[in-house]
């Protein structure tokens, strides 16, 4: 009679993992409660920003060498224009290979994150025109990241961060300049081609459903917000066509739901979007969708605010987020601990060290404590919606904009559910009671008094959720072969696309994974079970 208990214990031990508990469902049934509405069951994630789209303010030293330092590199367009496609490919492949590693995913799991948002430009998914300097070759590295996401229990939100012609005029769309998406119909056609190819690629069987959501684009500017933006009708048409393109091209695994389609709020109040989803010509008949909103308190005169004023700015968002969440999932897809900007003129940061940049914070316990308070008020308020995704994973100098550095400085807790101060969601100011810690002053956190290297974070106990044979492990960890300009997702031919990424090994399917758990782990589980039974 001991066989069944031993077997049960073995199964329990096999599936024990420090990885995060993923959002239970990224699906909102028609007329049902919006996904992410249950307390504690939230999106808790990090953006892999600066990886597939360069942003100069995040990585000044990347642009400091002899070839580049005398040209102002606004964006990836200029970067590749100056270097030429061959040299650009060589350098970006090194960047793609090293900027995001498996150890990053171990840190995510160690800090109980459950989601990564992966921004990519349209040129990764549809062939650049002759006049466009962009290069391709991103897909093997994306495939590797999707494998890591799966192994460490994280869901993926894919984000088409930049559109042909540009949707916001900023470097994060790939080209800093005019907003020209609306200038011609070709841009819309190319955007739909990119969405179709991205959707087909990331929803293949071999990824086992790790991609749970697809965002149609990032931070579009409309006339109501920016005099150079597009008319709202253009954006609405893009959203409708984009939704239909995702639905027409996604592959739904047996027993699974369709992917969530995410749209950005275009910097309008979140409750305004009730209108969009009430109109038959817009989103009335959509299923499984969500709104992305970005909340930063780092621009304009924010640097002159007191600590309490920063906290109150976030408190003031609570009511609208909570109400909107009753109608549709609201994901705060970008936020940070930054209360001012860093390296906006990236050349002004040449030669500066991380120690110098964060010395004003690390030298003051009060400043460190505010960082933890700023994290806590934001996580509390954003979890009144469906959750949050930190921007961004790395910043080489600005600790408050870097998830890894914020974790290393202990501004972020290892357990995102850990709370130090009481929270009152009905209060529009002082919603975080920083004067009355839940467990008293004696339990205030420790903060390093120096710039702690994030590689010091102990990830030795983090193990993969799924175990594969050693050959497969090596293939996924290090062997990525250049595809150059031949990334074939743009052809719309899924089988051809698969060939372009053959250098990486895809994650095994869910059923195969269970059978592929290492025999060593089974042995340890058996020994442990026998020991427990005496």
4 SS3 class: helix
- Residue ranges of domains in the chain, CATH in brackets: 43-456 (3.20.20.80)
Residue 12 has pLDDT above 70, yes or no: no
Q: Of the listed 334, 376, 383, 396, which one is catalytic? A: 334
DSSP letter for 361, please.
H
95 SS3 class: helix
Q: What is the pLDDT of residue 360?
A: 87
472-502 pLDDT tens trace: 433 444 444 333 333 344 433 333 333 333 3
Say whether pTM exceeds 0.75: yes
With left for phi above 0 and alpha for psi between -120 and 50, is residue 430 left, alpha or beta?
Answer: left
Mean pLDDT, range 450-462, rounded to an integer: 97
Residue 428 has pLDDT above 60, yes or no: yes
91-110 pLDDT tens trace: 999 999 999 999 999 999 99
- The H or E element that residue 459 is part of is none
If you write DSSP's letter for every residue of 232-292 in order, what string do you get? HHHHHHHHHHHHHHHHHH--PPTT-PPPEEEEE-TTS-GGGHHHHTT-TTTTTT--SEEEE
Band of the pLDDT at 162, cuts 50, 70, 90? Answer: very high
Q: What is the pLDDT of residue 22?
A: 86
CA distance 223 to 474: 50
Give the dihedral sign, CA 305/47/232/222. Answer: positive
CA distance 290 to 28: 9
Mean pLDDT, range 143-171, rounded to an integer: 98
Bridge partners for 453 per DSSP: none
Q: What is the pLDDT of residue 502?
A: 34
Beta carbons of 169 and 128 less than 8 angstroms apart: no
CA distance 139 to 124: 8
Q: What is the pLDDT of residue 489?
A: 44
If you write DSSP's letter for every residue of 494-532 in order, what string do you get? HHHHHHHTTTSPPPPPHHHHHHTS-HHHHHHHHHHHHHH
User: In 410-518, where does DSSP find H-type helix?
Assistant: 470-477, 494-500, 510-515
219 is catalytic: yes
76 is catalytic: no
22-61 pLDDT tens trace: 899 999 999 999 999 999 999 999 999 999 999 999 999 9
Q: What is the mean pLDDT of the chain?
A: 87
Q: Of the listed 219, 376, 383, 396, which one is catalytic? A: 219
Measure CA of the first residue to CA of the last residue in the chain; give whole Å: 15
Beta carbons of 48 and 95 less than 8 angstroms apart: no
Q: Which pair of structure tokens corresponds to residue 15? A: 């599936």
493-532 pLDDT tens trace: 333 333 333 333 333 333 333 333 333 443 444 444 444 4
CA-based nearest residue to 222, from 214, 230, 210: 230
433-450 pLDDT tens trace: 999 999 988 889 999 999
What is the distance, to the nearest Å, from the Cα of residue 506 to the centroid of all Cα atoms in its chain? 21
Band of the pLDDT at 466, cuts 50, 70, 90? Answer: low
128-146 pLDDT tens trace: 999 999 999 999 999 999 9
Q: Which pair of structure tokens corresponds to residue 40? A: 């504690």
Band of the pLDDT at 272, cuts 50, 70, 90? Answer: very high
């Amino acid at each position: 009679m001991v066989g069944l208990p031993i077997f049960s214990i073995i199964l329990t031990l096999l599936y024990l993992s420090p990885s995060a508990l993923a959002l239970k469902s990224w699906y909102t049934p028609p007329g049902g409660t919006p996904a992410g509405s249950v307390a504690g069951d939230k999106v808790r994630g990090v953006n892999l920003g600066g990886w597939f789209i360069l942003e100069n303010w995040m990585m000044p030293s990347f642009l400091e060498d002899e070839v580049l330092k005398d040209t102002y590199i606004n964006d990836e367009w200029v970067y590749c224009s100056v270097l030429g496609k061959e040299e650009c490919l060589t350098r970006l492949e090194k960047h793609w290979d090293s900027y995001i590693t498996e150890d990053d995913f171990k840190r995510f799991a160690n800090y109980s994150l459950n989601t990564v948002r992966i921004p990519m430009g349209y040129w990764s998914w549809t062939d650049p025109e002759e006049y466009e300097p962009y290069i391709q070759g991103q897909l093997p590295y994306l495939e590797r990241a999707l494998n890591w996401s799966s192994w460490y229990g994280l869901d993926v939100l894919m984000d088409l961060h930049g559109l042909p012609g540009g949707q916001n005029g900023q470097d994060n769309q790939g080209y800093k300049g005019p907003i020209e998406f609306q200038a011609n119909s070709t841009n819309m056609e190319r955007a739909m081609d990119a969405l179709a190819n991205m959707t087909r690629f990331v929803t293949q069987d071999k990824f086992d459903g790790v991609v749970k959501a697809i965002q149609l684009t990032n931070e579009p500017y409309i006339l109501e917000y920016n005099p150079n933006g597009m008319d709202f009708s253009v954006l609405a048409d893009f959203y409708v066509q984009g939704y239909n393109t995702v639905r027409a091209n996604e592959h739904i695994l047996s027993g699974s739901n369709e992917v969530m389609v995410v749209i950005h709020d275009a910097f309008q109040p979140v409750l305004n979007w009730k209108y969009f989803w009430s109109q038959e010509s817009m989103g009335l008949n959509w299923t499984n969708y969500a709104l992305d909103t970005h909340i930063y308190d780092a621009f304009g005169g924010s640097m002159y605010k007191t600590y309490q004023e920063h906290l109150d700015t976030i408190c003031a968002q609570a009511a609208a987020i909570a109400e909107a969440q009753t109608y549709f999932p609201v994901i705060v897809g970008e936020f940070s601990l930054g209360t001012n900007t860093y390296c906006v003129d990236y050349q002004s940061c040449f030669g500066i060290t991380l120690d110098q940049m964060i010395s004003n914070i690390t030298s003051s316990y009060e400043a460190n404590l505010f960082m933890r308070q700023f994290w806590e008020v934001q996580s509390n308020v954003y979890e009144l919606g469906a959750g949050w995704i930190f921007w961004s994973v790395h910043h080489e100098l600005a600790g408050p904009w870097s998830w890894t550095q914020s974790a290393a400085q202990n501004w972020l807790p290892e357990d995102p559910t850990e709370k130090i101060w009481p929270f009152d969601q009905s209060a529009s100011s002082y919603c975080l009671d920083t004067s009355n810690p839940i467990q008293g002053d004696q339990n205030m956190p420790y903060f390093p008094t120096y710039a702690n290297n994030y590689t010091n974070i102990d990830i030795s106990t983090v193990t993969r959720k799924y175990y594969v044979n050693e050959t497969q492990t090596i293939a996924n960890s290090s062997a990525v072969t250049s595809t150059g300009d031949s990334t074939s997702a743009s052809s719309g031919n899924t089988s051809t696309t698969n060939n372009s990424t053959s250098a990486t090994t895809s994650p095994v399917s869910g059923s195969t994974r269970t059978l592929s758990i290492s025999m060593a782990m089974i042995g340890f589980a058996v020994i442990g079970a026998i020991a427990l039974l005496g």
